[in-house]
Amino acid sequence: MFSAFKIQDELFEFDRVTKSGDSLSLIREEERIQVHCLRREGNKLLLELIMPSNHRITRWVDVLQATRNHEFRLLFNHKESMVNALHDATEAEAEQADYRAPMTAKVVEVLVNGGDQVESGQTLIVLEAMKLQMDIKAHDHARVSEVSVKVGDQVQQGDLLIHMEEEHRE
């Protein structure tokens, strides 16, 4: 079961997560948060959240997308969020070292090689879809371990583009 979750850039960790049917328990510091899935209608889930204080709220959440990399795009109350489900915080560290394709696209430029030292904000790869270009930029100061794609490759959403050396991350 997943026990760590990255939402946008924030990490949420639990001591234990258990799910049985339509009930979910998230346990953190001896406190239990319970969630019930009351209804499923297509990609819409009606969820009831029961906080340790016994405060209860119920709301519909739309699941826009779920990828094989356990990334979920959600929409509720006009708000968008992205959850990345991880097995634990170590995986969160490892995930940080992977740069994946945010959409199905063609690789039009590869600007780094294995072994290169890159700075935060430096453009690593340029992707193109529907004649629009998107820069994949380094989010950390790191050393490139491996570039998994070359110019002209067609990549699917979630495909690994670049892996960074973990020990060189700061």
Least distance to another protein from the beta carbon of 134, Å?
6
Least distance to another protein from the beta carbon of 124, Å?
16
d(CA 75, CA 73): 7
**DSSP E strand stretches across 51-131:** 56-66, 71-76, 79-86, 98-100, 105-110, 117-118, 123-129
Report helix, strand or coil for 11: strand
**Which positions lie near another protein, rule CB under 8 A?**
2, 5, 7-8, 10, 12, 17, 19, 22, 24, 26, 33, 35, 37, 39-45, 47, 49, 51, 57, 59-68, 70, 72-76, 78-83, 85, 102-104, 129-130, 132, 134, 157
Least distance to another protein from the beta carbon of 68, Å?
6
Nearer to another protein, 87 or 169 (CB): 87
Nearer to another protein, 134 or 160 (CB): 134
Nearer to another protein, 117 or 123 (CB): 123
Q: What are the angstrom distances between the C-alpha of 121 and each of 31, 37, 93, 118?
A: 39, 40, 19, 9
CA angle 43, 70, 51 (to 5 degrees): 70
Tokens of 89: 């915080």
Nearer to another protein, 28 or 141 (CB): 28
Distance, C-alpha 60 to centroid of its chain: 21
Nearer to another protein, 26 or 144 (CB): 26
Q: Evaluate whether 99 touches 118 at the Cβ level (below 8 Å).
A: no
Least distance to another protein from the beta carbon of 86, Å?
11
